[in-house]
Amino acid sequence: MPVEYFFPTPIYYSFVKNLESIQHEVDSYLSSVSETDLVNPWGDTVQTTFKYGNYIHALDKMPILLSEIKEHCYEFLKNIKYQQTADIHVRESWCNISNKNSFQHIHLHGDTDVSGVYYHQTNEQDGDIVFRNPSLVNRFHKLTYNIDNSVTYKPEVGKILLFPSFLEHGVFHNNTDHKRISVTFNIDLK
């Protein structure tokens, strides 16, 4: 008799179509970011353009990437059989820069609907993103704690990931000399 697993949590991944144009947009945006624009508000080691209550909405400067994010979000919603017609509103967007030894603590973005990341620059060895099972009981119950309660995704240039904002995630240490750059965002469904 097989064992069945239920109650999945959807994570969407794909690759952008307009990679060259998007890469140019992100490079152009990053060239306008000064060292004083980069902060570390979360107690980890990632430099970011995110500043609580006072930051530049990065995707305002990247219309091609913003358009693709919305297309991928509609595809994600269609695949999970989201029944409502959604107006996709990107509430927040910022760039994360991860140098050698950078990491991000496990965290969530629970006050929005969908969160995501676009990988602009990576050598694919500079820190995987990890998602944890949202069921706390599964992670600690004696019957299920030995079942893999996390999943990792390797960063790849042009990859986009979308996931429910309540899903805990973090980023492993960048143990290379390579700088990983990503564009991160939160989406509200109106």
State mean pLDDT over 118-142.
90
Element (H, E) at 131: strand 129-132
With a cut of 90, say whether residue 68 has pLDDT above it: yes
Residue 12 confidence (pLDDT) above 90: yes
Select the highest-mean-pLDDT range: 102-106, 148-152, 157-161. Answer: 157-161
Our measurement of the distance from residue 119's CA atom to the centroid of its chain's CA atoms, rounded to an integer in Å, reads 9
Across the chain, what does the average pLDDT equal? 92
pLDDT attached to residue 190: 86
> Is 90 exceeded by the pLDDT of residue 175?
yes
CA distances from 18 to 15, 28, 104 (A): 9, 15, 28
Which has the higher per-residue pLDDT, 136 or 9?
Answer: 9
Alpha helices in the chain (DSSP H): 19-31, 63-79, 136-140
CB 55, CB 94: distance < 8 Å:
yes
CA distance 163 to 180: 20
Q: Could you give the percent of the chain with pLDDT greater than 70?
A: 98
Give yes or no for residue 84 having a pLDDT over 70: yes
How many CA atoms within 13 Å lie on the side-chain side of 141? 9
The CATH number for 12-189, chosen from 3.90.1150.10, 3.40.720.10, 2.60.120.620, 1.10.132.20, is 2.60.120.620
d(CA 124, CA 126): 6
Count Cβ atoms within 10 A of the Cβ of residue 79 and give its class: 0-12 exposed, 13-18 middle, 19 or more buried. Answer: exposed
User: pLDDT value at position 114?
Assistant: 97
Domain ranges of the chain: 12-189
pLDDT (average), residues 162-170: 96
Say what the pLDDT of residue 55 is.
Answer: 66
Residue 37: predicted pLDDT: 86
Predicted pLDDT at 52: 80
> What is the DSSP track for 97-125?
EE-TT--EEEE--TTSSEEEEEEEE--S-
Q: Which residues contact 96 (CB under 8 A, 6 or more apart)?
A: 46, 47, 48, 50, 104, 180, 181, 182, 183, 184
pLDDT, tens digit (0-9, with 9 covering 90-100), for 30-56? 999 988 888 888 888 899 998 887 667
Q: Is the pLDDT of residue 137 over 90?
A: no
Predicted local distance difference test score (pLDDT) of residue 6 = 74
Q: Please give the pLDDT value at position 185.
A: 97
